[in-house]
Amino acid sequence: MSQTAKYPPEVNTLYERLKREAEAGGYTLNPDKEFTLSLVQGLIDNEKRFGYMACPCRLAYGEKDKDIDIICPCYYRDQDLEEFGACYCCLYVNEDWTSGRKPHKSIPDRRPPEFVLSGFSEPAASIETTGTSKSIGPLPYPVWRCKVCGYLAARNEPPGVCPVCKAKKDRFERFI
Amino acid sequence: MNFTHVPGTNNKHKVTLYALSTCGWCRKTKELLDSQNVEYDYIYVDQCQGEERTRATAAVRELNPRGSFPTLKIDDEVVAGFDEERILELLA
Ligand code: SF4
């Protein structure tokens, strides 16, 4: 049986989409397709349970505000890619990992352990939509920062979807 | 807590696995135990609710203060994360 045949079509569809988006944004999905498909199945299970794709390898709290840091791609992904060549779940990997320069092992979670019980503790909603264009000091526009990948956008409101990592609007913070 | 028992011919050790049903490393840990025919008990903490979930997360954090998954207990040793070598060593 082929790897893909074991999973329902929705898993394969999401896999293809994530792969496309990853590559367009300069990221790489784990080439171990069997492993990756099982994580994509986990993302779909979580989406059905919670309404958002909580990280498959972390215990979600079950409320969006409290899980906002671990909605995939999580706030920890890019740092983990830098340090370990893979994100915590190993859904995303980089050259260091595929080439074997970094070991193919599970890595420590950089999410603070107290979040496991109480969820994300950062003050909620750093995004307030400005409505009208406000001038901040000499800047004609506020600057929004994607908390997943660091993409910056100077405009009245954060982008609906991050053009680099596809994180949604609610995962931007006001940067300047 | 509601553990699922997996029978196996290799029953020299008391093996308990705290896992998430959606996690790739938890799945690899289960597959490794299965491939070694190990007898063990496991619980999917993400599928627990209320009181049981509170008890399960407390048990995990007592074994592994990071509260991460998989958390595997083999006799009195704890393996946090998927560490094939260490698991095989402890099962030997
Ligand atoms: S990027 Fe990786 S570690 Fe982060 S939520 Fe997605 S699968 Fe999990």
Q: Are A37 and A9 in contact (CB under 8 A)?
A: no
CB of A158 sitting under 6 A from ligand 1: no
Of A88, A14, A87, residue with least CA distance to A53 = A14
Q: Which of B23, B25, B67 is the closest to A116 by Cβ? A: B67
User: Per the CB < 8 Å rule, is A58 touching B20?
Assistant: yes
pLDDT averaged per 10 residues in sequence order, chain B, 92 residues: 96 97 97 98 97 96 96 98 96 94
Q: What is the DSSP secondary-structure string of A119-172?
A: ---SPS------SS---BTTBSS-EEEETTT--EEESSS--SB-TTT--BGGGE
* C-beta neighbour count of B2 within 10 angstroms: 10
- Using the Cβ of A70 and the Cβ atoms of chain B, whether some distance falls under 8 Å is answered with no
Q: Which ipTM was obtained for this model?
A: 0.94
User: For A88-97, what is each residue's pLDDT tens digit?
Assistant: 999 999 999 9
Q: Using only the alpha carbons of chain B, give its radius of gyration.
A: 12
What's the pTM? 0.87
CB of A74 sitting under 6 A from ligand 1: yes
